[in-house]
Structure 1
Amino acid sequence: MIPLLPFKKTRIAPTPSGFLHLGNLLSFVLTAALARRNGASILLRIDDLDRERYHDDYVLDILDTLNFMEIPWDEGPRTLSEFRQQYSQTHRLHLYQHALDQLRSTGQVFACSCSRSLLNQLSPDGSYPGTCTKNGPALSEAQINWRLHTSPEKQLMIHTLEQGNISTALPALMQFFVVRKKNGIPSYQLSSLIDDIHFGVDFIVRGNDLWHSSLAQTYLSELISTNDFGKAGFYHHDLLHDSEGTKLSKTAGSISIQYLRKEGMKKEEIYQHLAEYCGLQAGTIKNWETFAIQYFETKQQHQLLHSPADAD
């Protein structure tokens, strides 16, 4: 059975940086199923701040795929024109800047001019070596990152469907994470958080590769204006992998839903294809509802789900 949870709004939040694949579809379906089971609304939020990879065709692909696969949403753009005029993240730049100004005024950020190649040399494991934490450039300089002062001891409480309530610290790879990039654009961690607060999202479904992002955004939420993000629930689902064990990715050129449709696959066949990736009984799948029921029943049979309200 699809879990009952205490939340009011969730979101589908793809990036228009490539054509959608089955991994994206999995996240969308689980989001829709949890929302409809719990009487919550669904926001379609298209994250388009990465203008170097943005293309109108990818926005159209998002809208077309959701409609073709009959995945519902209650708030957000229905057309490319509506997205451009009302829902693009460019319309919320002032909200991101307000948060950055607040972090700056309270001394929560520092400037970092280190190149990616230098950081890789100094710290091969990907963690930030702290090079600019004390004697870095001024925040007013051009072409510098703004990084957050973080503490490795600070404990965060995360409410998850997969493990219940978890108390944990920010991992080493997320210490001093970037909140504003060198081009002056807010980072994903900041813009995603501000959007969720702005739209009143209180439950987030995402792949388990974004677990660290959930921690970073929870950490950041405690440093900005009063908000309820710390009470939000999360579900971090398993990722889909190809036959070689590589996770499905738009940037890696994984087979897109658009490609499957051009090959003649109907909606039901695509859902059955998704079910095969997830180890489900594909022959019983007809739509996103029947897929989700079987998916969550399988997880519950293996005791892989808990209520976010359950304490450890």
Structure 2
Amino acid sequence: MRNLPPNMADVVSLGFVRSRLAPTPSGYLHLGNAVNFVLTWLLVRRAGGTLHLRIDDLDRARLRPAYLENIFETIRWLGLDYDTGPRNSKEFEEHYSQLHYLADYQALLDDLRTKPGLIYACTCSRTSNLPPGSPSVDESGCRSCHATFATPGAAWRVRVPAATPVAIVDGWRGPLQVDLAATMGDFVVRKKDGLPAYQVASLVDDQRLGTTLIVRGEDLLPSTAAQLFLASQLSTTAHFAHTQFIHHALLSGTGGQKLSKSQQQPLDRGILGASHSPRAVYAAVAELLALPDAAGESLDTLQQAFAEFEIKNKK
């Protein structure tokens, strides 16, 4: 496996560690989601930190009760524990749904609007704001439309200057730079339906939870860059720059494509509906981390996976 850290014990520095599992109820959880959960759990438990279950449910169009329940079922199936967060769907809806925090998200959006020239409204299509590669964003689409913040159905976007490098200190890969303009373009912070976009909601949630460690797939590096850029604009979120990040390699499906809930077929029920056992997840994590038992043949339990992780990371 490429780009493995020499010692995962060095990834989580000394001090208080608080991380989160952050699934979305927009489909059934797949093997990649499960591997991320186990990897996050291993890192947090080895550091003696705390783990929160945060469910991102602002995509109301794709949310289904079965998807929400699948999150709790998958966590129980994997044998994972967490310290704070909802224990079932009812408790989630009553106390933890992101809908309870809409005022917090709007407060951040309002603060961003106070920064001259940073946020603008547009009604143009998504293709008008793709990363540069054809006409410059300044001359195409949204920046030249005449929408205002009061225009019904207008999205709010961040004006990203050309060649905006964002530095990321990644615990897996080391120091990185992501060109935000090239990877994200003028990204949305408030959607056309009036709800906050993922980049804003995730930033606010992590600030509220006191998150110090974020474990994500490498496909979310542009999102990390977007959130760091947003956080740098405001004094109230500047501490987000000190968050530790780990962007791990992704698992591929049978055709070599990235595993994705959006690609699920009608009869696909995710990892719980496949012919898998938790052992297959532990084996995938062992391979990802290059544990001594990378084949996973003896990793029948989460405790064994943790023991192998400990052995590899003994100083």
How far off its partner does 1:18 sit? 0.8
Answering whether residue 92 of structure 2 is matched by residue 83 of structure 1, we say yes
Relative distance call for 1:247 and 1:155 in structure 2 (3 A) is closer
Relative distance call for 1:271 and 1:164 in structure 2 (3 A) is closer
Answering whether residue 218 of structure 2 is matched by residue 218 of structure 1, we say no
One-letter amino acid of the structure 1 residue matched with residue 101 of structure 2: R
Contact 1:11 1:42 in 2 (8 A): yes
SS of 2:214's partner is: strand
Match of residue 238 from structure 1: 249
1:51 to 24, 49, 60: 60
Match of residue 298 from structure 2: 284
Contact 2:46 2:310 in 1 (8 A): no
Match of residue 75 from structure 2: 66
Q: What is the Cα-based RMSD across aligned positions, in Å? A: 2.9
Q: Aligned partners of 1:2, 1:255: CA distance in 2, in Å?
A: 33
Q: Deviations over 1:124-154 (max 9, x none)?
A: 7799565332553111101111011222344
Unaligned runs of 5+ in 2: 1-6
How far off its partner does 1:164 sit? 2.3
Contact 1:76 1:87 in 2 (8 A): yes
How far off its partner does 1:180 sit? 0.6
SS of 1:103's partner is: helix
SS of 1:283's partner is: coil
One-letter amino acid of the structure 2 residue matched with residue 47 of structure 1: D
Match of residue 258 from structure 2: 247
Answering whether residue 214 of structure 2 is matched by residue 204 of structure 1, we say yes
One-letter amino acid of the structure 2 residue matched with residue 3 of structure 1: A
Match of residue 101 from structure 1: 110
Q: Aligned partners of 1:127, 1:80: CA distance in 2, in Å?
A: 46
Q: Aligned partners of 1:88, 1:11: CA distance in 2, in Å?
A: 15
1:229 to 202, 217, 240: 240
Unaligned runs of 5+ in 1: 301-312
SS of 1:251's partner is: helix
One-letter amino acid of the structure 1 residue matched with residue 271 of structure 2: I
2:150 to 126, 140, 150: 140
Contact 2:163 2:182 in 1 (8 A): no
TM-score, normalising length: structure 2: 0.83
Q: Deviations over 1:133-187 (max 9, x none)?
A: 2553111101111011222344433221122233554241313211011111111
Contact 1:171 1:212 in 2 (8 A): no
What is the identity percentage for the equivalent residue pairs of Structure 1 and Structure 2?
36
How far off its partner does 1:90 sit? 0.3
Contact 1:139 1:146 in 2 (8 A): yes
Q: Deviations over 1:16-48 (max 9, x none)?
A: 011111100111011011101111111110000
| Aligned length in residues | 295
Deviates more, 1:249-258 or 1:21-30: 249-258
Q: Aligned partners of 1:293, 1:23: CA distance in 2, in Å?
A: 22
Q: Aligned partners of 2:127, 2:297: CA distance in 1, in Å?
A: 49
Contact 1:158 1:215 in 2 (8 A): yes
Deviates more, 1:25-34 or 1:224-233: 224-233
1:170 to 180, 197, 200: 180
Deviates more, 1:273-282 or 1:59-68: 273-282
Relative distance call for 1:283 and 1:10 in structure 2 (3 A) is same
Q: Aligned partners of 1:198, 1:126: CA distance in 2, in Å?
A: 39
Q: Aligned partners of 2:120, 2:103: CA distance in 1, in Å?
A: 21
SS of 1:285's partner is: coil
Match of residue 27 from structure 2: 18
Deviates more, 1:211-220 or 1:62-71: 62-71
